[in-house]
């Protein structure tokens, strides 16, 4: 299959050069070889998979020397008790909307793939997405459009206050939104093999047995971490107001524990793209796990992608973020505020300036700017991606969906950066125009077909067997 590609990043681009026609270069890969071998050799001039990133690496000039200064109310009542707990069986029934069983891979089965196209490391959370008005937020003392960490008791109070509201439950978390969209895009294609997508993290026994793993498997995403015994479920309550603004309340539960062990190392060793969710930086001692995981990824030839996740998270863990981004990241996903936070830019700085600046440190930079569009940055330059037209209903999950489009384009061999960005923007607009954070199966099929047209227009052969 002609899906191997290389980012042409080593030759300098003059500041006056337009990226509107900048493309990725494709060429055939050896059968059964990692499609990332060539792209990795460009990031890592030593050439071989697994070679050291230090010394002569593309980033050598920056290393260590430079830092940037449901649903009905009666079901709701059944789910939530006075202490804020909920019944997993009810979550299972409520979360069953827009689900379709797609054959997945059992991590303990001999039919598991030789390599994972994408492995994500993130928080296993249950999402409650509800529609509320401004008065609801005021009564609870919540600032609209913000993200707040809450404790067990606060979660119970909010869920009880939602009595009478409609909401959806899903196997959630920012990273899982991206992986589900990616898997749905990649599961149905006449000309391309299905994408092998997996997630690792932590979850409690209840979610393991009833909800989380089942929901992800139905979307062809395999959750490969063992459950934590006697734990509590992490949840994110997403409150969306009529103006499509989201307010997020996160209770971490036992999803606040992510350990690096031989199982995770083994999974990373057979992964093409390793994605680290930025919210993990909030968790105690997780930076050690992230560092070891990124080292293992590069040792085995994988690309490392990092999601910025949240401005306040970046500000609280700025040094840790840059330890990972500056030393390991090949791809970074951020919105305009997060990109400025990374650069220590003021709010007056344009997102294109932040994109260009970050691209001096990270080979591939993706920055979204809401209704204003988005940017892709490479080697100090940026290409503007106009927004895809839509009527916004719920902005939650827009950035997650956009990231899935970029990953899908890379994995499927899209060579035109503008075309890749347009695809990602269309996917994001599709999610924004609905209630909920997940790309629906029928929309994924339609968008994947449009991608096949994009492949043909990019000159990539899709009719050659692997």
Rounded mean pLDDT, 201-223: 72
- Kindly provide the b/e burial profile for residues 255-275, where b requires at least 16 CB atoms within 10 angstroms of the residue's own CB: bbbbebeeebbebbebbbbbb
Task: Kindly indicate the confidence band of residue 34, based on its pLDDT and cuts at 50, 70 and 90.
Answer: very low
Which of 67-81, 113-127, 280-294 is predicted with the least confidence, judged by mean pLDDT? Answer: 67-81
Query: What is residue 32's predicted lDDT score, i.e. its pLDDT?
Result: 30
Per-residue pLDDT for 109 more than 60? no
Least confident of 6-10, 109-113, 140-144, 245-249: 6-10
Q: Is the pLDDT of residue 96 over 70?
A: no
Identify which of 23, 213, 130 has the alpha carbon closest to the alpha carbon of residue 437. 130
pLDDT value at position 204? Answer: 57
The confidence band for 4, taking pLDDT boundaries of 50, 70 and 90, is very low
Q: 464 vs 417, which has greater pLDDT?
A: 417
pLDDT, mean of residues 217-233: 77
What's the whole-number mean pLDDT along residues 175-185? 92
Which residues 6+ apart lie within 8 Å of 282 measured at CB?
149, 252, 313, 316, 317
The per-residue pLDDT of the chain, averaged, comes to 75
pLDDT at 68 over 50: no
Residue 151 pLDDT exceeds 80 = yes
pLDDT at 78 over 60: no
Is the model's pLDDT at 114 over the cut of 60?
yes
Q: Specify the pLDDT at position 297.
A: 97
Is residue 441's pLDDT more than 60? yes
Q: Which pLDDT value is given to residue 69?
A: 36
The pLDDT of residue 77 is above 90: no
Taking residues 68-84, what's their average pLDDT? 39
Q: With pLDDT > 90 as the criterion, what percentage of the chain qualifies?
A: 40
Give the mean pLDDT of 11-20. 38
* Stretch among 193-197, 272-276, 317-321, 353-357 having the lowest mean pLDDT: 193-197
Check residues 299 and 456 and name the one with the higher pLDDT. Answer: 299
pLDDT at position 205 is 57
What is the structure's pLDDT at 296? 97
Band of residue 287 on the pLDDT scale cut at 50, 70, 90? very high
């Amino acid at each position: 299959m002609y899906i191997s590609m290389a980012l042409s990043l080593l030759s300098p681009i003059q500041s006056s050069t337009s990226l509107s026609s900048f493309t990725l270069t494709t060429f055939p890969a050896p059968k059964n070889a990692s499609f990332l071998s060539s792209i990795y050799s460009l990031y890592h001039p030593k050439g071989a998979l697994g070679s050291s990133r230090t010394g002569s690496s593309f980033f050598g000039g920056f290393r260590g020397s430079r830092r940037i200064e449901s649903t009905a109310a009666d079901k709701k009542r059944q789910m939530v008790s006075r202490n804020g707990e909920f019944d997993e069986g009810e979550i299972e029934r409520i979360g069953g909307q827009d689900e379709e069983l797609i054959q997945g891979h059992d991590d303990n089965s001999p039919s598991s793939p030789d390599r994972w196209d994408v492995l994500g490391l993130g928080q296993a959370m249950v999402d409650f997405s509800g529609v509320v008005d401004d008065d609801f937020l005021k009564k609870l003392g919540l600032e609209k459009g913000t993200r707040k960490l809450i404790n067990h008791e606060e979660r119970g109070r909010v869920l009880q206050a939602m009595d009478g509201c409609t909401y959806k439950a899903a196997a959630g978390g920012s990273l899982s939104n991206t992986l589900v969209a990616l898997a749905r895009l990649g599961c149905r294609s006449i000309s391309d093999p299905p994408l092998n997508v997996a997630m690792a993290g932590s979850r409690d026994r209840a979610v393991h047995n009833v909800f989380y793993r089942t929901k992800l498997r139905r979307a062809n995403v395999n959750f490969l971490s063992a459950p934590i015994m006697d734990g509590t479920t992490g949840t994110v309550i997403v409150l969306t107001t009529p103006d499509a603004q989201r307010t997020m309340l996160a209770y971490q539960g036992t999803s606040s524990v992510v350990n690096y062990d031989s199982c995770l190392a083994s999974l990373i060793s057979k992964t093409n793209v390793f994605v680290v969710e930025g919210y993990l930086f909030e968790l105690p001692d997780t930076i050690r796990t992230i560092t070891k995981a990124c080292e293992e990824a590069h040792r085995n030839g994988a690309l490392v992608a990092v999601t910025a996740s949240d401005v306040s998270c970046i500000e609280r863990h700025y040094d840790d973020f840059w330890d990972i981004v500056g030393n390991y990241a090949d791809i970074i996903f951020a919105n305009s505020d997060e990109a400025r936070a990374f650069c220590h830019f003021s709010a007056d700085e344009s997102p294109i300036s932040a994109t260009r600046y970050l691209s001096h440190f990270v080979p591939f930079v993706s920055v979204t700017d809401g209704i204003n569009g988005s940017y892709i940055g490479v080697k100090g330059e940026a290409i503007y991606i106009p927004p895809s037209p839509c009527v916004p209903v719920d902005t939650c999950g827009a950035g997650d969906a956009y990231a899935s489009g970029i990953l899908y384009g890379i994995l499927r061999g899209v060579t035109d950066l503008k075309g890749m960005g347009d695809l990602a923007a269309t996917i994001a607009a599709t999610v924004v125009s609905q209630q909920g954070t997940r790309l629906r199966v029928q929309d994924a099929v339609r968008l994947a077909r449009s991608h096949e047209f994009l492949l043909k227009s990019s000159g990539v052969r899709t009719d050659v067997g692997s």
